[in-house]
C-alpha cells in the first residue's frame, strides 16, 4: 500500500511543513506534537504539566482524526528541553493517558531547544486496531 498523508482538519496548527500522520498498512507514524492549538499564534501553556497535557490531547485529537486512539500506540519518543527539572513531572501526567499494563515502548531524551520554545514534544508510532473506525478515508482526510 502506498503511504497516505493526513492533515487532520481539527488538529493542532502545523508549525512547519509536515503531515500530522503518515499511514502505511494501518501503521500510523505521528509527527511530534507540541503544546500548540488550532491557532498557531496562541502562546504555549506555561509549565511542563500544562504543556504535557496539551501535547497528549493533541496526540489524541490527531489519532482520533485517523480512526485510532492512544491505546494503539506502540512506541513513543519524548523530547524535553529541561530533562532533569521536568522528567518526573512529565511522567506524572503522561502515565494518566495509558493503561498501566499496556504501556508503549518509549525513549525520552533531553534536547537543547524545540520549535515555538516548547518544553516538550512527543511523537509516536501506532498500529490501528482491528475494528477501529476508518471513516476518515471516505471523508478525504
Domain topology for 4-139: 60s Ribosomal Protein L30; Chain: A; (3.30.1330)
Give one word for 78, left, alpha or beta, with left for phi > 0 and alpha for psi -120 to 50.
beta
Spatial CB neighbours of 38, under 8 Å, sequence gap ≥ 6: 10, 11, 12, 13
Q: What is the pLDDT of residues 59-115, one digit of tens each?
A: 999 999 999 999 999 999 999 999 999 999 999 999 999 999 999 999 999 999 999
What residue spans of the chain are helical by DSSP H? 48-65, 83-94, 135-139
- Whole-model pTM over 0.75: yes
Amino acid at each position: 500500500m502506498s503511504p497516505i498523508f493526513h492533515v487532520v482538519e481539527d488538529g493542532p496548527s502545523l508549525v512547519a511543513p509536515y503531515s500530522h500522520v503518515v499511514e502505511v498498512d494501518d501503521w500510523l507514524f505521528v509527527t511530534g506534537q507540541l503544546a500548540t492549538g488550532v491557532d498557531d499564534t496562541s502562546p504555549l501553556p506555561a509549565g511542563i504539566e500544562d504543556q504535557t497535557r496539551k501535547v497528549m490531547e493533541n496526540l489524541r485529537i490527531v489519532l482520533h482524526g485517523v480512526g485510532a486512539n492512544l491505546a494503539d500506540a506502540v512506541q513513543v519518543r519524548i523530547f524535553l528541553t529541561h530533562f532533569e527539572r521536568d522528567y518526573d513531572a512529565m511522567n506524572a501526567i503522561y502515565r494518566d493517558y495509558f493503561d498501566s499494563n499496556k504501556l508503549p515502548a518509549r525513549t525520552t531524551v533531553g534536547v537543547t531547544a524545540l520549535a515555538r520554545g516548547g518544553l516538550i514534544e512527543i511523537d509516536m508510532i501506532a498500529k490501528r486496531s482491528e475494528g477501529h473506525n476508518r471513516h476518515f478515508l471516505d471523508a478525504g482526510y
